[in-house]
Amino acid sequence: MKRVLKIIKWLAAILVGFTLIVFISLQAYKIYLEYSTEIKTPGAISELEEITLGNLKQWIFFRGEDKNNPILISQKRSGPSRSPYIFSKASMIWLLPQFL
């Protein structure tokens, strides 16, 4: 019985440690996205904003060389552990001068 309790304690400690690592990694990735996607042109915009749609927290990413340009909405599908921002930065860079 003592051995089972010891195993359960170890598993709980591993689960808590893993959860902390995932949480810290996600926060670090958010900070990385904010700085890695910055555009250094005057009048440019590069913002990641949290919004609520249908009682669910969602993220919207604005990026463009001029704030006054029209907004182009692109739905990037992603799943667990797959971020659409990596693909949108590379594949849509030619749209930056014309749209947000």
Give tens-digit pLDDT for 19-50.
999 999 988 988 887 777 677 788 888 787 88
Report the pLDDT value the prediction gives residue 88, as an integer from 0 to 100: 57
CA 28 to the chain's CA centroid: 10
Residue 90 lies in a domain: yes
Report the pLDDT value the prediction gives residue 67, as an integer from 0 to 100: 85
Please give the model's pTM, rounded to 2 decimal places: 0.44
Model confidence pLDDT, tens digit, residues 59-77: 787 778 888 888 877 666 6
Model confidence pLDDT, tens digit, residues 77-93: 655 655 555 555 566 66
- Between 99 and 42, name the one with better pLDDT: 42
Report the pLDDT value the prediction gives residue 76, as an integer from 0 to 100: 60
Residue 100 lies in a domain: no
Residue 7 lies in a domain: yes
Residue 89 lies in a domain: yes
Report the pLDDT value the prediction gives residue 23, as an integer from 0 to 100: 93
The tally of domains found in the chain comes to: 1
**Euclidean distance between CA atoms 90 and 86, whole angstroms:** 7
**Euclidean distance between CA atoms 5 and 82, whole angstroms:** 36
- Residue 80 domain boundaries: 2-95
Helix (H) or strand (E) holding 30: helix 2-36
Residue 85 lies in a domain: yes
